């Protein structure tokens, strides 16, 4: 009888102990779970974001902008070609012979003997033909990476006569004589005009000058590296 009572009392205590264990374990688990949730929530939601120092942020932004900045500066292009005046022109040196005739004195419709004059004038000149660098225009399409270069037409830029080269030959006396530029200034000026008009009508001459100038400008732009990401088109 007493043994049965002890057994029942032990069962009650054992159940009570198990219940306490369960409750304690559950409580500890709840505390741990809440702590973990709280930590996650704090890190994900409540924790303040780290602030990047302004100096570091500025450098990063500058690097991004620099890396993506592939636009062309027109002023840089103009600097590349501003000193190319001599490179985009060609010098044409020539030696010319001009025949100067003067009618003799006539009496009763008859030319008096020894009054006629025939003089040959020899001189040298240099013509410089090319384009005006200041008239070159640039237009860039930064989206398509195309640079359009508009070139002016080639023309005669200068024409000089070597005054020291002027000689005259008197056909009547078969003698060469040294003359000054002033002696034949009017004649030489007329000859210069005729020479320039002849060259201006020579399509091949100016076409070759234009082509050479184009190649020179293209070479300068490519060599400078300013146009490395662009396709160059001439118009």
Note the pLDDT tens digit of each residue in 16-32.
Answer: 555 444 444 554 454 44
Residue 51 pLDDT exceeds 60: no
| Angle subtended by helix axes 74-81 and 203-224, to nearest 10 | 120
- Whole-number Å distance between alpha carbons of 230 and 214: 17
Note the pLDDT tens digit of each residue in 180-210.
Answer: 667 778 888 999 999 999 998 998 999 999 9
Paired tokens of 202: 């020579």
Note the pLDDT tens digit of each residue in 152-180.
Answer: 999 999 999 998 898 888 776 655 556 66
Residue 137 DSSP class: E
For the entire predicted model, the pTM comes to 0.59
Residue 156 DSSP class: E
**Predicted pLDDT at 60:** 39
């Amino acid at each position: 009888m007493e043994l049965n009572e002890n057994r029942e009392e032990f069962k009650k205590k054992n159940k009570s102990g198990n219940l306490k264990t369960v409750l304690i374990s559950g409580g500890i688990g709840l505390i741990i779970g809440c702590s973990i949730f709280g930590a996650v929530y704090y890190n994900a939601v409540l924790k303040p974001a780290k602030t990047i120092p302004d100096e570091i942020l500025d450098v990063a932004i500058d690097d991004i902008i620099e890396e993506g900045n592939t636009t062309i500066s027109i002023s840089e292009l103009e600097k590349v070609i501003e000193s190319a005046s001599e490179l985009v022109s060609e010098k044409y040196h020539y030696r010319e012979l001009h025949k100067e005739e003067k009618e003799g004195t006539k009496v009763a419709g008859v030319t008096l003997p020894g009054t006629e004059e025939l003089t040959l004038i020899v001189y040298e000149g240099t013509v410089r033909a090319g384009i005006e660098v200041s008239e070159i225009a640039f237009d860039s399409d930064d989206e398509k990476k195309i640079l359009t270069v508009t070139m002016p037409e080639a023309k005669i830029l200068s024409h000089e006569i070597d005054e020291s080269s002027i000689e005259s030959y008197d056909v009547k006396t078969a003698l060469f004589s040294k003359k000054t530029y002033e002696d034949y200034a009017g004649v030489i000026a007329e000859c210069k005009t005729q020479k320039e008009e002849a060259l201006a009508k020579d399509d091949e001459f100016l076409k070759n000058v234009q082509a050479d100038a184009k190649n020179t400008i293209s070479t300068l732009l490519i060599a400078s590296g300013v146009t490395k990401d662009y396709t160059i088109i001439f118009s």
